[in-house]
Amino acid sequence: MSLLPIPGIRGGEAIPFSKAAPKDQKHELRKYYGAAGAVLHRAKADTVELQTKTDRVNVLKDRASYRSEREMNLAHFAELMSIFKQASKSGSGKLTMPEFKSAFSVVLGHGLTDDQMSILFMKVDANMDEAVDWDEFSTFMLLRAEGQSVMQEQAETQLFDTESMTTHFPILTPHKDMIIRILWLGKSQRYLTCSRDGMVCCWSDRLKLQRSFANIGRISSKPEPGLNSKTKPPWIHDCIYLPNLNKLAMSSDDHEITFYDSTTMETQLRLDLHDSVAFTMNYHYDTENPDSDQSTLLYGTDQGCVTLIRFSHAALFGTAISKKDQAPVISVDSLSKTPGVQVWKRKAHNDWALQVEYYHDLRSVVSCSPDEKESLVMATQTGTKKWTVVSASVRKGVNAIAYSKFPLALISGGTDRQLRIWNPHRLQRPTASLSGHLSPIISITVNPLNGQAISLSTDKAIKIWDIRKQQCLQTLSSTIEHRPENSLSSIFFSTHRGGKLIVASTVMVTYGLVDRSQKNRVRSHDAPIRAALWNGAFKQVVSGCDSGVVNVWDSSTGQKTFRFANVHEKAEITAMAFDAASRKLITGGRDGSIRVWNFNNGQLLQELVKGDRSEVTGITVGIFAYVSIEPSPQPQ
């Protein structure tokens, strides 16, 4: 493809630039051309019937080839290819503008006006030779379909608002130590937070403090020799809510799990674990049958054991409390002999069990550990007393796990800073390993509204991941100094009131989801706009920003019609201009590169190499004529 004369280069001189289109684009286009030609050949021989298959979607890896195939299937390509061969009067396979209008008026619809057909022809004819061949047309259609599909997906992606007041001004709490758990109490429509020192705070659904309870769990049933039991402060490791029983359960370093009334915070029961400390707990009950008397408590210990206790409410909480703060103490070893209680215990890991979860959809108990050999363990119930156990090993172990129902995935993160996505039905190896964190991952939660995983690392970095596309969408960095350790200890995503992310240390910071309508109305770019150009040929406005994104806008409707990004890879756009015919967009970057684009489908036509990497500050396009005047012969 040829360019208009460039200032500083004389006619006939060799142009010191020319870079071919990316190889991956050429490879993909050749694949489509070959397949389309084969289908057309067999169709003419009556050996195959053209069919349209637009419903093939890979939900885990929605790559560009699948998106392009949904927009333009092979049968459609074969039909268009035959039109090019038949409609070309010269036999060259190229269509002039009148031939293009006549041939494609049926395929593209009779509703298009003559001007609209002319504009489409000019968009396809990027090299301005006043003729369109099959290569130009198919390249334009494929890249435009790909770009529009990506643009649609990005428009539907809902991220978190980082500019609201709540992200810059944290919510102060009575907690003096790190918050280890944030809970949503659905029945009472309130939040509950618990810190390591045993303080519990109740919050409204708008995170307004309602009530706080200090020193919960300070009285231990097993004081150490020489230490006053009333002054011993046990370290709280985990806290869970039992909705059908209206109780809280806390595990502490005094080898106990203590149950409290969630309204009065009075002690109801103490479960003695002997020489084990429960680092993590989980709870399950039949939500579809509120009258059910059966519930399940799970916990993982510092010895790597996972214990499942299935109990009837009367069997565990039927004992009356004789005095305040003197609740009955039950040994975990004696529970297996108690009527109405079943205990299942297994040595799952050779290191601490940091998290244990029961996923009812999978009928499975999943636990994780820093143990490199038994990092991730899944036990699936196959019978009344039968369990099938599978495990996976991860370098440096796993610190946190989360489960997504749609798309179906098990997500894990650990000290190696990798976020891994697993198929829970095949736990042998992960389906994807995503990089991005610079510090160990310590907590993971899921945004079920948008199919996103949210991970937290020790450096206070929060990353939002698209589970289906397996890529990082957003990074949230807290600039607030968190005390006492300047780190975040807990994250929680709530679907209440449209969804919000809550992160906590001794204070809480909330991130609400961006309102799509507000975002589309107020913002056109996510970075400062570098240039906005009017294109009279196509009646469009083309804008570019510092993040390397170019948007194309319809001037009559104000709608964005196309978008392409990474114009200069990681460099910013510093200059933009159209060519003399307004068919191509020329961009300059801070890295000194100059590129020529078909801005209607995002195709890179050429890259101009000017010999150095100095910033391009301006681009001027014009038509220059060079006249050579030879001196007249001198008389002898």
SS (H, E, C) 13-24: CCCCCCCCCCHH
CA distance 444 to 463: 10
Residues 79-91, mean pLDDT to the nearest whole number: 68
Same domain, 461 and 357: yes
3-state secondary structure of 143: helix
Same domain, 275 and 386: no
| Residue 61 confidence (pLDDT) | 38
More confident residue, 144 or 541: 541
Same domain, 4 and 93: no
- Residue 505 covered by a domain: no
**CATH number of the domain bearing residue 421:** 2.130.10.10
More confident residue, 341 or 33: 341
Cis bond leading into 484, ω under 30°? yes
More confident residue, 37 or 210: 210
Same domain, 272 and 341: yes
CA distance 138 to 145: 11
Same domain, 380 and 337: no
Same domain, 151 and 35: yes
Report the candidate in 432, 443, 454 with the shortest Cα–Cα distance to residue 401.
443
DSSP label at 528?
A: -
Q: Express each pLDDT in 36-82 by its tens digit.
A: 555 445 444 443 333 333 333 333 334 443 333 344 455 556 667 77
3-state secondary structure of 577: strand
Domain boundary among 112, 139, 156: 156
- Residue 538 covered by a domain: yes
CA distance 536 to 488: 53
Most confident of the following: 127-136, 335-344, 409-418: 409-418
| Residue 610 confidence (pLDDT) | 76
DSSP H or E segment with residue 260 = strand 256-261
3-state secondary structure of 71: helix
Same domain, 51 and 8: no
Neighbours of 468 (CB within 10 A): 21
**Radius of gyration, CA atoms only, the chain:** 33
More confident residue, 91 or 466: 466
Q: Please, what is the average pLDDT of the chain?
A: 80
Residue 181's DSSP bridge partners are 194
The letter for the amino acid at 44 is K
Same domain, 384 and 465: yes
Same domain, 27 and 152: yes
Residues 190, 201: contact at Cβ < 8 Å? no
**CATH number of the domain bearing residue 96:** 1.10.238.10
Residue 469 has pLDDT above 90, yes or no: no
Spell out the SS3 assignment of 207-241. CCEEEEECCCCCCCCCCCCCCCCCCCCCCEEEEEE
CA angle 358, 360, 363 (to 5 degrees): 85
| Residue 201 confidence (pLDDT) | 95
Number of domains in the chain: 4
Same domain, 451 and 544: no
| Structural domain harbouring 455 | 353-477
Contacts of 575 (CB under 8 A, 6+ apart): 530, 531, 587, 588, 616, 617, 618, 619
Q: Express each pLDDT in 451-461 by its tens digit.
A: 999 999 999 99
| Residue 103 confidence (pLDDT) | 73
Same domain, 633 and 563: yes
More confident residue, 474 or 68: 474
CA distance 192 to 173: 12
- Residue 219 covered by a domain: no
Residue 11 has pLDDT above 80, yes or no: no
| Residue 320 confidence (pLDDT) | 59
Domain boundary among 156, 180, 203: 156
Same domain, 27 and 111: yes
Q: Express each pLDDT in 152-185 by its tens digit.
A: 766 666 688 877 666 667 899 999 999 999 999 9
DSSP secondary structure of 467-516 = TTTTEEEEEEE--SPPTTTSS--EEEEE-GGG-EEEEESSSEEEEEBPPH
DSSP secondary structure of 410-478 = EEEE-TT--EEEEBTTB-SS-SEEE---SS-EEEEEEETTTTEEEEEETTSEEEEEETTTTEEEEEEE-
DSSP secondary structure of 547-567 = TS-EEEEETTT--EEEEE--T
Structure confidence at residue 372 as a pLDDT band (50, 70, 90): very high
Residues 409, 446: contact at Cβ < 8 Å? no
Q: Strands 267-272 and 256-261, how do they pair?
A: antiparallel
CA distance 89 to 2: 25
- Residue 83 covered by a domain: yes
- Residue 486 covered by a domain: no
User: Which residue is it, tokens 């030879």?
Assistant: 630
Residue 9 has pLDDT above 50, yes or no: no
Report the candidate in 507, 472, 475 with the shortest Cα–Cα distance to residue 488.
507
